[in-house]
Amino acid sequence: MIEKSAVLIAVGDELILGLKKEANAYWLSRELVLHGYDVVALEVIGDDEEVLVDLLNRWAGKVTLIVISGGLGPTHDDRTREALAKFLNLPLVRDDEAYDQIIARYPLESRENLERSREKQASMPKGARPINNPLGSALGFAITVKETEIFALPGVPEEFKAMAKHLLDSLEKEALLHFALCKVIGWPEVQLKDRIADIVQRYPANIMFLPEPNVVTVAIRGPERLVSSLKIEIRGILENDVLPEGVDNLEEAIINLASKLDINIAFAESCTGGMVGESITKVPGASSVFVGSAVCYSNQAKETVLGVPKEVIEKNGAVSEECALAMARGAANLFETDCSASITGIAGPSGGSLHKPVGTVCFAVTCLQNHRTWTRHLQGDREMIRLWSNNIALEAVWRELKKLDGKRRSEGSN
């Protein structure tokens, strides 16, 4: 038996058929790691009693924790209860008291339906402990077998999370493994690996690279002291390019810094189609700095809405740094902001030319008196090019704000 080890099992035909991405086990996996657990496997299986019994036979007695997501609902293809009973060679018995508590939460008119599901949803293998479901009607349960704690929770994401959080609370807090993330902006993964190669060579098992468009997350894990010293070392080297601790993404970094500097922001978007505005407004409280974004997909709209001069487009094309600059200035003007950024490019799959192939994207950023324009040639499909464009524009805004912050700080200290 591996101490503090876990296997997570997600049950559902829709998961195995590629129709729905499994999310419960993924989420819990990370949470368990943060609680010091060694997650040995995530297993995604269909609504298949036999396969589940087989898995339970395989893992019970080998890991300390098994959490099953799904298969507890009222329909015939929900087989988790039956599989556990079969595996344990125990009968299913109803826990009417626990089910009554659940039913009591529902309005009278729904209770008839819930009564019809009682036989199924109130049942659990003899000796199992019921786990209350605060959001739905399927009862969860826990049972200990060969020193393995087995939890069966419903697969509805909100219900699973609420009940799993309860489980996490009950786990001892003392974590064996610690975890730190450094989110590095604007570095290609290969160059970043070279830059911190000596650290990685010293502690290869403790450092992982997770690339996303224009952002590489360096994940550090291990005992607390090691994680903390590695983190300081890596942050030291990449000082100008790493997001502040506790900040999850560029959007949050921008909002925090712009709030502090009292700078407001607008965007002008063409090929990203609104993605930049959408990203920044993912963060609650974006309204303190974000005023708006003008998504101008047609050239006509670039002219009439953003005031890009017709000649600029005629002479340079809509995908040009000149057009990008006019768009950014137009957005700052339209939304009356201190700072703005624009994106205009060819996301494909069609629309490219020899001179401007698919992936050509022009950017501009303005911040108070400053402005900057540049062009990137991006790889990948339409969605990838848009994501890169989004993150490159956000990076530029972040760097302008950092510059301004530095300037104000040095003025303040003079």
Among 3, 77, 224, 248, binds a copy of itself (CB under 8 A): 77
Number of residues that bind a copy of itself (CB under 8 A): 79
Among 69, 80, 123, 293, binds a copy of itself (CB under 8 A): 293
284 binds a copy of itself (CB under 8 A): yes
Among 275, 364, 378, 401, binds a copy of itself (CB under 8 A): 275
Which residue stretch of 83-91, 132-140, 229-237, 270-278 sits at the interface with a copy of itself (rule: CB under 8 A)?
270-278
Least gap, CB of 60 to a copy of itself (angstroms): 15
Residue list 334-393, contact with a copy of itself (CB under 8 A): 334-336, 348-350, 382-383, 386
Region of 87 (left: φ > 0; alpha: ψ -120 to 50; beta: rest) is alpha
Q: Is the peptide bond before 349 cis (omega within 30 degrees of 0)?
A: yes
Query: Judged by CB, which is closer to a copy of itself: 68, or 128?
Result: 68
- Could you give phi then psi for residue 5, rounded to 5 degrees? -120, 155
Among 132, 144, 304, 370, binds a copy of itself (CB under 8 A): 304
* Tokens, residue 2: 């591996």
Least gap, CB of 29 to a copy of itself (angstroms): 4
Residue list 233-252, contact with a copy of itself (CB under 8 A): none
Contact residues for 276 (Cβ-Cβ < 8 A; gap 6+): 267, 269, 293, 341, 343, 390, 393, 394
Helices (H), 89-134: 96-104, 108-116, 118-121
72 binds a copy of itself (CB under 8 A): no
Residue with tokens 């900040």: 247
In whole angstroms, what is the distance from residue 408 CA to residue 402 CA?
10
Least gap, CB of 345 to a copy of itself (angstroms): 12
Query: Judged by CB, which is closer to a copy of itself: 158, or 314?
Result: 158
Least gap, CB of 323 to a copy of itself (angstroms): 15
218 binds a copy of itself (CB under 8 A): no
Least gap, CB of 217 to a copy of itself (angstroms): 7
Residue list 170-209, contact with a copy of itself (CB under 8 A): 204-205, 208
Query: Judged by CB, which is closer to a copy of itself: 93, or 171?
Result: 171
Residue list 27-66, contact with a copy of itself (CB under 8 A): 27-31, 33, 39-46, 48, 51, 55, 58
Least gap, CB of 261 to a copy of itself (angstroms): 18
In whole angstroms, what is the distance from residue 262 CA to residue 276 CA?
20
21 binds a copy of itself (CB under 8 A): yes
Lateral strand order in the sheet of 178-185: 178-185, 215-222, 207-212
SS3 264: coil
Distances (CA, A) of 396 to 186, 258, 391: 10, 13, 9
Distances (CA, A) of 304 to 27, 273, 330: 46, 17, 10
Among 273, 307, 309, 352, binds a copy of itself (CB under 8 A): 273
74 binds a copy of itself (CB under 8 A): no
In whole angstroms, what is the distance from residue 65 CA to residue 52 CA?
15
Cβ contact 140:153 at 8 Å: yes
Cβ contact 143:57 at 8 Å: no
Query: Judged by CB, which is closer to a copy of itself: 181, or 312?
Result: 181
78 binds a copy of itself (CB under 8 A): no
Query: Judged by CB, which is closer to a copy of itself: 126, or 297?
Result: 297
Query: Judged by CB, which is closer to a copy of itself: 7, or 98?
Result: 7
Among 36, 130, 186, 292, binds a copy of itself (CB under 8 A): 292
Cβ contact 340:329 at 8 Å: yes
Least gap, CB of 232 to a copy of itself (angstroms): 21
Looking at residue 306, the DSSP 8-state letter turns out to be H
In whole angstroms, what is the distance from residue 371 CA to residue 330 CA?
13
